[in-house]
Amino acid sequence: MPGQGSGGNVISAICSFFIPGLGQLVQGRLLMALVQFLLAGALWLILMGWIIHIWSIIDAAKFDPAQ
């Protein structure tokens, strides 16, 4: 997938907007996808999942595979 700022990152960020961690899964980062999905799910129980949800979107948008 192309680097940061690419159309792929935009699509990944949109995926993470709907389901936390889905954008990371689209980028092939299984462990980060699982962490963000589980954290968001656990924290939504105490109404704080939006923090992880936003982190997931930003992380997907800023991902640079070159690093």
Contact 11, 3 (CB under 8 A): no
- Residues 12-64 have pLDDT tens digits of 888 888 888 888 898 898 998 999 888 888 877 777 777 877 878 888 888 77
Structure tokens at 49: 């999942």
| More confident site: 7 or 3 | 7
Four-CA torsion 53, 57, 1, 32, nearest 10 degrees: -30
Residue 31: what pLDDT?
Answer: 93
Distance CA 19, CA 32 (A): 13
Residue 1: what pLDDT?
Answer: 47
Residue 3: what pLDDT?
Answer: 53
Residue 34: what pLDDT?
Answer: 93
